[in-house]
A = this chain, B = another copy of it.
Amino acid sequence: MSRPVDGPKEQGGRRAETRQRLYRAAADLIAEQGFAATTVDAIAERAGVAKGTVFYNFGSKEALFAGLLDHGIERLADALAEAARGPAASPIAVLDALMLAQLRFFDEYGPFARVLLAEMWRAAWQDAVLRLRTSVLAVYERVLADAVEAGELRPGFDTGTAATAVFGMVLTVAIERRALRPDQPVEDVHATLAELVHRRISP
């Protein structure tokens, strides 16, 4: 009778596992077809779950998707924050580490990368986008500001635009690599990007 329709809570329970399965199925299908073209029936089937279960757990197709975005963004933010915490010689070295971490994250969760790229600018998911800006792009922006502070970039450098630029660059390349060059090591791609943004010319 009382349909829960609440946000994610516990980690190991039965519901939590069902939700994980639904997230994965939804990410896979939406990456291929887009949100609107992906049916709830298809998501349920891929997750090995009845259609009703989707609505029992999330209340609506939109809510499922919003949950998926939040979930992915949180994990990405964690991955970047951890990379930023590591030891580094300079802000630019931290920037390097961030790009590698983002590349690895999207390499592992490729479908999510595509979903993010495709839906990022839709007005419907403003909340998620805001979270992306405050929890992911902010990490890039901070390290760029540090670089300005350290004299590695000109004072007055637009760290906000640059943060978006780097994030978008890595996102695009990560997707392209998975789609077109799956055999190329992530480290090679990272080396190219690192060289692009700060000309670390290694022989």
Q: Which residues of A contact B (CB under 8 A)?
A: 32-37, 114, 117-119, 121-123, 153-154, 157-158, 161-162, 164-173, 175-177, 179, 181, 184, 188-189, 192-193, 195-199, 201-203
Contacts and interface: CB of A to CB of B under 8 A. Distances in A.
Determine how many copies of this chain the complex contains: 2
Given A34-B34, A161-B184, 8 more contacts: A32-B123, A161-B176, A161-B192, A164-B176, A165-B196, A168-B173, A168-B176, A171-B172
A59 B36 CA distance: 22
A153 to B, nearest CB: 8
Contacts of A36: 33-37
5 contacts: A34-B36, A161-B184, A162-B192, A168-B171, A199-B199
A34 to B, nearest CB: 5
Contacts of A188: 158
A166 B196 contact: yes
Contacts of A161: 173, 176-177, 181, 184, 189, 192-193
Nearest to A179: B121
B169 A166 contact: yes
A157 B196 CA distance: 10
Given A34-B34, A157-B195, A158-B192, A172 B176 contact: no
Nearest to A144: B196
Contacts of A184: 161
Contacts of A158: 188-189, 192
